[in-house]
A and B are shown apart, each in its own frame.
Chain A
Amino acid sequence: MTANGGTGIRALAPRAEFPLLAADPALHYLDSAATTQKPGAVLDAIAGYYARDNANPHRGAYALSVAATEEYQRSRDRVARFLGVADSDTLLFTRGTTESLNLVASAWGRANVRAGDRIVVTRLEHHANFVPWQQLALAVGAEFRISELTGEGEVDLEALRALVTPNTKVVAFAHVSNAIGTVNPVEEIVRIARRVGALAVCDGAQSAPHLAVSVDALGVDAYAFSGHKMLGPMGIGGLVMRRELLEAMPPYQMGGDMIASVGDTATTWNVLPHKFEAGTPNVEGAVGLAAAVGYLEALGMGAVHAHEKALARYASERLGAVEDLRMFGPSAERRGGVVSFTFAGIHPHDLSQFLDADGVCVRAGHHCAQPLMRALGVGATTRASFYVYNDSLDVDALVDALEGARSRFAVGVR
């Protein structure tokens, strides 16, 4: 890997601070929309928790258990502050976005959605914000409707407005599309949901890592996110939901920690957030996630967003000049740090295998968004996604590797 020249886009976060990237200078990791690499600060925080503070929180009266409890609570407060959530008890730790959305669909959905009601999702959704609603609708006899997109791959607000009828109970939408990078107008969608009193459920898996998000200011009823897509460890994420909704809805899972008292024939529930966190919590995950948001805060989310935008713009320019390459989604100006494309009739699965041989890691497939892929008329795309440790050399490596794959596949001499 050569040194980055003055004209290129430098990494926002030093590669040296990410042990995996530092160990392999020739690796061009362009799959951060799937999961990010972790800074040493996060790994140290996790190891430090086990080395200093490990005990089962909320249970022991001994000092170590108190330390673990405090670490866990401090982590929650820190993540809540990062996401602009004033009432940190309304930030529930979960395994990630998927579990968060399932929690809303199961616990709130089963209690509030009835036969004849309507659930509306958008064509952009990841399966995690699609299948739970589709299956809830099937289970209770509600109507499941998909709001279609404009030709640019953006939510068609007129179409959405028409679909969100007075019997609509849920409007579920991604903040940022994982597959093609579309950034949705959350405030506008929330207004449409509010008009009929529907629950506005926002999949924030691709916004929390990349934008300065204030969940309170967005005005959504529920916001789901994953730690591992924002420099944190796998297996931790969260759900932010309005207090009155969480207090009114039944628990999601039953067990330790989530009860106030257990009688022989009845049980009462613990207060928030414990009511929704049954069992021994993922303290290591929470501590790691808190370290991750600390790292992001130090970089500044404005700078993170600007950096990704610059890389996405540069990638769009360079890929736009590649023959036989088709990009999906809105223009780089209106898109997150994701470029989704097909190339030269080479199946994305084959393409990613070729790129891998040149040290370029990209995602190939349907990106857990088959309903979107159908609308785009493709079975799969290749997706490159950017984060704080990427630079323009990563983009250059991608473009070079594409040309290599083209000649290997001998397109044009058929």
Chain B
Amino acid sequence: MNAELEELYQSIILDHNRRPQNFRAMPDATSHAEGVNPMCGDQLTVWVKVEGDRLADVSFQGSGCAISKASASLMTQAIRGKSRTEADALFEKFHALVTGRGPGDDLGSLKAFGGVSRFPLRVKCASLAWHAMKAALAGEAKPVSTEGAS
């Protein structure tokens, strides 16, 4: 195992892949959206329940690689209870981290995705749930695709 791969597949990522959190449908969600990665066929759905300006609950289901699944799982934990603005700001920081444009300070557990920046093809895996979450908040009915977004 080389060092870059160790960095990519940190144990927290493998743990969340094996035991994803908030991995459930949400019947009383205020909105949901599907994210697909046409390159590898990964597909997941993100549900959000918005109360006032807060994301009172966030969940997801679907199939995908360890990076996309763990990212979805950690995202649901990170943005639960946050305001839309805070969630947006987190995504910006997270995206900067995985694309190698930011240090990922204040990202907590999400910092584990720092290794993704060394594998440009995996940025889409790490971002899939986030794009779906943003689409859900925007009330988009169409599935979001990783093509055209990264």
Contacts and interface: CB of A to CB of B under 8 A. Distances in A.
Given A353-B119, A357-B1, A366 B40 contact: yes
A365 interface: yes
A373 B69 CA distance: 20
B60 to A, nearest CB: 16
Given A365-B40, A379-B43, A347 B8 contact: no
A221 to B, nearest CB: 31
B18 A350 contact: no
B85 interface: no
26 contacts: A346-B66, A347-B64, A347-B65, A347-B66, A347-B69, A348-B65, A349-B40, A349-B42, A349-B65, A349-B125, A350-B66, A350-B67, A353-B5, A353-B122, A354-B5, A357-B1, A357-B2, A364-B40, A365-B41, A370-B41, A373-B41, A379-B42, A408-B9, A409-B66, A410-B14, A414-B18
A400 B122 CA distance: 24
Given A349-B40, A379-B41, A408 B1 contact: yes
B149 interface: no
B5 A379 contact: no
A141 interface: no
Contacts of A365: 39-41
Nearest to B8: A353
A380 B125 CA distance: 14
Interface of A: 346-350, 353-354, 357, 364-366, 370, 373, 379-380, 404, 408-410, 414
A344 to B, nearest CB: 12
A203 to B, nearest CB: 21
Contacts of A353: 5, 8, 119, 122
B41 A350 contact: no
Nearest to A380: B41
B63 A379 contact: yes
B131 to A, nearest CB: 17
Size bin of chain B's contact surface: 20 to 34
Contacts of A380: 40-41
Contact of B5 (A347, A357, A410): A357
A354 B65 CA distance: 12
B41 A404 contact: no
B6 to A, nearest CB: 9
Nearest to A370: B41
Query: Is the contact region of chain B dominated by helix, strand, or loop, or is it mixed?
Result: mixed
A410 B66 CA distance: 13
Contacts of B42: 349, 379
Contacts of A410: 14
Interface in B51-69: 63-67, 69
Given A348-B40, A350-B65, A380-B41, 12 more contacts: A347-B63, A349-B40, A349-B125, A350-B9, A357-B5, A365-B40, A379-B41, A379-B42, A379-B63, A409-B66, A410-B14, A414-B18
Contacts of A370: 41
Contacts of B67: 349-350
Contacts of A347: 63-66, 69
Contacts of B65: 347-350
Contacts of B8: 353
B112 to A, nearest CB: 15
Nearest to B19: A414
A354 B6 CA distance: 10
A126 to B, nearest CB: 14
Name the residue among A353, A354, A366, A404 with the largest chain B CB count within 10 angstroms: A353
B1 A404 contact: yes
A47 B122 CA distance: 35
A380 B42 CA distance: 9
Interface in B91-121: 119
A354 B2 CA distance: 9
Interface string B115-135: 000010010010000000000
Contacts of B41: 365-366, 370, 373, 379-380
A256 B149 CA distance: 38
A402 B65 CA distance: 16
Interface in B1-49: 1-2, 5, 8-9, 14, 18, 39-43
